């Protein structure tokens, strides 16, 4: 009766949602203290003070119809100017306000960009491990998903990437700092990808675009620098969100920026505007457009996430779990002791530990632990993780 | 290189946008006082006080991560409860919270609902005059637009409607109070449509849905009552927006409500959830979810629009223009003196009057005048309208 794929998407409960429901039931029976929810990437540090004072100032402004009125579809010109200026200053780019299109977060930016690009079953290459919604946006736009496996350190298998690019490849999605692994692609990795992409584009005689999904760009630790992806690919579109950096995930505010050096960049920007319109986006939330204009240079409180990461990593490795210390985002990827991540996540639930199997991220054998949580919960979870680990030892 | 239809949508400037740009240029040359912009449906009354105090209260709340965090995809349960309660009380329905899905305004609700419904080139019937974006949402989802002309009083031609419904018809879009005509469908009109739809559904042995686009539901004058469309069609989905009723068009907040009596209603709701996800909507803006929960029973200040309508209608009819007194929304449809609405709109520009030709709304021969403007501007525009009218007399 209705669209089959949409029905499937809406009726199939996500793993994270299942975990959440399980946690709620357990909390009712055993008390909230016996649930350790590491499943969701909801920032645990409050929005910066400047965000809140700006919101209050705007809410009180006399001219309410101007504050809450429609903006142009691209977003307020003065906000796009500020964003361009901020990016250019930080990353030595030459982005113009008319390269920027404000969106309802990075997810809408991705859905819009893919819809804008796909002509007829074009191929979009995704690099495991990756955010499962990429597949949804690609399929909904009528495109084809081509997945590339990872090697040691959750980095893309470059040989497989080269093979994955065909004459039908429209774009490659890059996500660094990465959800779910927390890995940051180094300049060397990006350069290697760039040389493959450029070689293939020459071979097939058409541009291959890079869609850089970077909501975690500002979330890195130990002074690690995140190379700015646009500086490695002329044919690049950034999808950014202020969800994580300004702790505003529910407010849906972000932007798409088309590299001013991109081939057919003007056409691409127009197609993005058209896709935004076609998917029902009239404009990004108006008051938050102004908020990000005022706060785009405010950096998040990283000390809390950094301390959480250190506490969690030490605790897990001391117990005996295998994991890589993440450089960015707020996720840690831990190896399932017997290699079966679905079973690992299931068994963890018995100890009240809610962790997401990597299977959804095309990374079987690992589970994602979101450490954007109260520090205290990490400490209290140690007993459970220890028992969980021991349960595997017993069975060996 | 990119999606052709998306590119066209994004590069073709809309008529309203063209008018806006013209107005800006004219204002620079002749001064702002010589531009009378009646083109845009941006509310001219400020947001109600309760909206602003709620916003400030939430912005100051200690628990910022809860206020600005992700909500469930459907929207906050307590807000959906309040909306259901409010609708049930006002319209004697039995809507449950899980029939409601919060959206980024009515536009996103429409795009999502159509995407959810369309299987394979299904037909969607639209009743002229209609909002041109309906065609965009239908085509973007892969559906087919079937347009029904209007008769006297901008009401649908019922014979043509009957002929337009085929075995491929998935839904009919109803928009009352109507943009652009301001007409409110009476109970008798809705009953006539309902009996046609029900007869055709029986004939073709499958449900035909009604999508009711009702952002102007609360904007009616002279005590006119807007019959609640859902009470006339079991197979009905409402797309509502608080853009007009709470003067929040830029903030993108509204909802979809599936009639609890709808055939396959649960499946439809799931498909709507799936389509929302597939189009990149993660959730409706979180703080505004709470704002509408608190303010859903606040009514707009109608006295301003009502006085504008009366002033404009009197002025135009006294000059000699033909128009119908609108019962709702904030638009007045005026007849082009020589029947050519494109030329009428062009000629009006010479007098600084920005009015939108009905051609885009499938209503050639008329122009839309948005009267959500300063009262003062209406008075000052009289000279221009008079000269505009006389220019036609001279040429006859």
pLDDT band for position A396 (50/70/90)? very low
Whether residue A395 is predicted with pLDDT greater than 80 in this model: the reply is no
User: Could you tell me the two tokens for A140?
Assistant: 């909904």
Q: Name residues whose C-beta falls within 8 Å of residue A328's C-beta, 6 or more positions apart in sequence.
A: A176, A177, A178, A182, A183, A184, A216, A219, A220, A221, A224, A226
In this prediction, residue B395 carries a pLDDT of 54
In this prediction, residue B300 carries a pLDDT of 85
Across A246-260, B33-47, B73-87, B223-237, least confident range = B33-47
| Contact yes or no for B285 and A250 at CB 8 A | yes
Residue B55: its chain A contacts at CB < 8 A? 55, 59
Across residues A274-293, what is the average pLDDT?
97
Residue showing tokens 């916003």 = B55
Across A26-40, A239-253, B108-122, least confident range = A26-40
Residue A251: its chain B contacts at CB < 8 A? 68, 285-287
- What is the reported pTM? 0.96
| Contact yes or no for A105 and B65 at CB 8 A | no
Q: What is the DSSP letter of A230?
A: G
Judged on CB neighbours under 10 Å (0-12, 13-18, 19+), B20 is: middle
B252 touches chain A (CB under 8 A): yes
Per-window interface: B 200-219 vs A, CB < 8 A:
206-207
Across A17-31, A134-148, B70-84, least confident range = A17-31
CA angle A302, A308, A309 (to 5 degrees): 90
pLDDT tens per residue across span A43-54: 999 999 999 999
Per-window interface: B 64-123 vs A, CB < 8 A:
64-65, 67-71, 104-105, 107-112, 115-119
pLDDT tens per residue across span A64-83: 999 999 999 999 999 999 99
In this prediction, residue A62 carries a pLDDT of 80
In this prediction, residue A21 carries a pLDDT of 82
pLDDT tens per residue across span B170-179: 999 999 999 9
pLDDT tens per residue across span A320-351: 999 999 999 999 999 999 999 999 999 999 99
| Contact yes or no for B283 and A252 at CB 8 A | yes
Across residues A352-360, what is the average pLDDT?
95
Across residues B212-224, what is the average pLDDT?
96
Across residues B334-347, what is the average pLDDT?
96
Question: ipTM of this model?
Answer: 0.96
| Contact yes or no for A116 and B3 at CB 8 A | yes
Whether residue B17 is predicted with pLDDT greater than 80 in this model: the reply is no
Whether residue B396 is predicted with pLDDT greater than 60 in this model: the reply is no
Task: Pick left, alpha or beta for residue A2 (phi over 0 → left; psi -120 to 50 → alpha; otherwise beta).
Answer: beta
Phi and psi at residue A64, to the nearest 5°: -60, -35
pLDDT tens per residue across span A92-132: 999 999 999 999 999 999 999 999 999 999 999 999 999 99
Residue B300: its chain A contacts at CB < 8 A? none
pLDDT, mean over chain B: 95
pLDDT tens per residue across span A139-187: 999 999 999 999 999 999 999 999 999 999 999 999 999 999 999 999 9
User: Could you tell me the two tokens for B15?
Assistant: 């008529």
B283 touches chain A (CB under 8 A): yes
pLDDT band for position B86 (50/70/90)? very high
């Amino acid at each position: 009766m209705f669209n089959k794929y949409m029905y499937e998407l809406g009726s199939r409960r996500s793993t994270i949602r299942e975990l959440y429901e399980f946690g709620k039931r357990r909390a009712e029976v055993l008390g909230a203290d016996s649930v350790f929810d590491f499943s969701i990437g909801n920032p645990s540090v409050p929005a910066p003070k400047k965000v809140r004072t700006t919101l209050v100032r705007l809410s009180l402004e006399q001219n309410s119809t101007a504050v809450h009125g429609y903006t142009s579809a691209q977003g307020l010109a003065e906000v796009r100017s500020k964003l361009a200026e901020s990016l250019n200053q930080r990353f030595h780019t030459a982005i113009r306000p008319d390269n920027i299109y404000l969106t309802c977060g990075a997810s809408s930016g991705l859905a819009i960009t893919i819809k804008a690009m796909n002509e007829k079953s074009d191929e979009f290459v995704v690099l495991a491990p990756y955010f499962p919604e990429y597949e949804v946006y690609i399929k909904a736009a009528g495109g084809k998903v081509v997945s590339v496996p990872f090697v040691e350190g959750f980095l893309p298998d470059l040989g497989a990437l080269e093979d994955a690019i065909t004459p039908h490849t429209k774009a490659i999605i890059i996500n660094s700092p990465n959800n779910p692994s927390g890995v940051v692609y180094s300049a060397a990795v990006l350069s290697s990808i760039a040389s493959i992409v450029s070689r293939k584009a020459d071979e097939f005689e058409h541009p291959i675009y890079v869609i850089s999904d970077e909501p975690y760009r500002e979330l890195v630790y130990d002074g690690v620098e995140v190379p700015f992806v646009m500086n490695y690919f002329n044919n690049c579109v950034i999808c950014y969100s202020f969800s994580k950096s300004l702790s505003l995930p529910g407010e849906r505010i972000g932007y798409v920026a088309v590299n001013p050096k991109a081939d057919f960049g003007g056409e691409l920007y127009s197609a993005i505007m058209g896709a935004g319109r076609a998917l029902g986006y009239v404009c990004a939330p108006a008051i938050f457009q102004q908020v990000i204009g005022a706060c785009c240079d405010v950096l998040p409180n990283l000390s809390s996430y950094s301390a959480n990461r250190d506490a969690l990593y030490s605790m897990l490795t001391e117990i005996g779990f295998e994991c890589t210390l993440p450089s960015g985002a707020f996720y840690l990827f831990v190896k399932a002791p017997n290699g079966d991540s679905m079973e690992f996540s299931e068994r963890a639930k018995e100890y009240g530990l809610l962790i997401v199997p990597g299977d959804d991220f095309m990374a079987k054998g690992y589970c994602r632990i979101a450490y954007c949580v109260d520090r205290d919960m990490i400490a209290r979870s140690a007993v459970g993780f220890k028992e969980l680990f021991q349960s595997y030892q017993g069975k060996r």
